Structure 1
Amino acid sequence: MKILQKTLLALATGTLLSVSAQAAINYTGQTYAGVKVGQYSPDDAKDDALSYGVYGGYKFTPNFGVEAEYLTTSDADAFDDSSEKSEYSADTYGVYATYDYTFPNTALYAKGRLGVAKNKIDVDYTDKFDSSENESFGYSDTGVAGGLGLGYNITPMASVEAMYNFYPTIDFDGGDDVDSNGITLGAHYKF
């Protein structure tokens, strides 16, 4: 064989092995962990709360995986008038099945997830004229939760994602159901 043929054969073999290794890193049998920040929005609340938390998962195939998440929020006003005020904070814990679709010839992907989560809201009520009426209480519920979003692979080992999330409905004592949703921006590292 001539030197040029040997060089081309070596280059082609190296390229094929490199592509195979990158495909294995990018998709199957891969764990990831990250952080996210966003907005938590319960129905009929005066203000949305700042949410932040951690998430991680495992991809079984290029498209399917599992993911776990924990989010908590800052305190935010549920209502505030001249005589009384109410603040809330929330915690969510969830386990989801995920589906990713990578757009051809790009680093962009769409992600959907569906699973089970616990949604817990703590409320602090303050009477501005009679402090003996002040109280704190919490409600939680477990149910179906999920989300849809878009992600971008910055490198083969790091990605960012923007997602719309919906959480389980909470049944308050008065018979009122509170639905909550949120948007998050996350960044994760693949191992």
Structure 2
Amino acid sequence: MLKKLSIAVAIAALSISAQAQTATPFYVGADVGSTTIDSLSGDKTSYGAFAGYKFNQNFAAEVGYRHLFKVNVGPVSADVTQASISALGIIPVSKEFQVFGRLGYNNNKVSTSVAGYNISANESGALYGVGVQYQFTANVGARLEFQKPASDTKNYSVGVTYAF
């Protein structure tokens, strides 16, 4: 009886340690990139953060917030941010390398300041994108991505992810 109990305790201990070595489906990340607007010349620096849940190896859901760009033209200053929710379809190419597609909904907020007056406007719509991710470890990955947050806007970014 004691021998069977010892074996059961050993198996339970091994399964707990095996579970501790794998990442959970929750992850967070941050990125930096470049935003291009059709009506503006030059690329603008962007940065953002996101959090997600990976349901399985082929599907995840993410929420994100990104500062798309800030521009000053004479006395006019415009600041554009993006809040989004997306579904990701994931194709594992290897254990470490994944290709993903993004389809979601986003709200782009434009805050403008002209001679001390502040004006803001929102535009909501579809968000789509494609990207690749490389997992260095079960917890840490790197990502390259292209997003289209509006019909006249493109964003390219590089970021890191951390699963906990």
Q: Which TM-score bucket, shorter chain as reference? A: 0.7 to 0.9
Whichever structure has more strand as a proportion of its residues is 2
Q: Match for residue 108 of structure 1?
A: 97
- Superposed CA deviations along residues 73-125 of structure 1, whole A, max 9, x for unmatched, are 45224xx5xxx564422110000001111113x52111111011001122345
TM-score relative to the length of structure 1? 0.68
TM-score relative to the length of structure 2? 0.78
- Point out 4+ residue stretches in structure 1 off by more than 6 angstroms: none
Q: Match for residue 147 of structure 1?
A: 129
Write the distance in 2 (CA, Å) between the matches of 1:117 and 1:190: 24
Q: Match for residue 108 of structure 2?
A: 119
SS at match of 2:56: coil
How many matched pairs? 150
Q: 1:60 to 1:68 in 2, by over 3 A?
A: same
Q: How does 1:1-191 map to 2 (within 5 A)?
A: 25=22, 30-77=25-72, 80=73, 84=74, 86-104=76-94, 106-125=95-114, 136-169=118-151, 179-191=152-164
Q: Where do 5+ consecutive residues of structure 2 fail to align?
A: 1-14
Write the distance in 2 (CA, Å) between the matches of 1:119 and 1:73: 9
Write the distance in 2 (CA, Å) between the matches of 1:35 and 1:69: 9
Write the distance in 2 (CA, Å) between the matches of 1:92 and 1:74: 10
Rg larger in structure: 1
Write the distance in 1 (CA, Å) between the matches of 2:22 and 2:100: 18
Cα distance, 1:135 vs structure 2: 5.1
SS at match of 1:115: strand
Letter in 1 for 2:105: V
Cα distance, 1:138 vs structure 2: 2.8
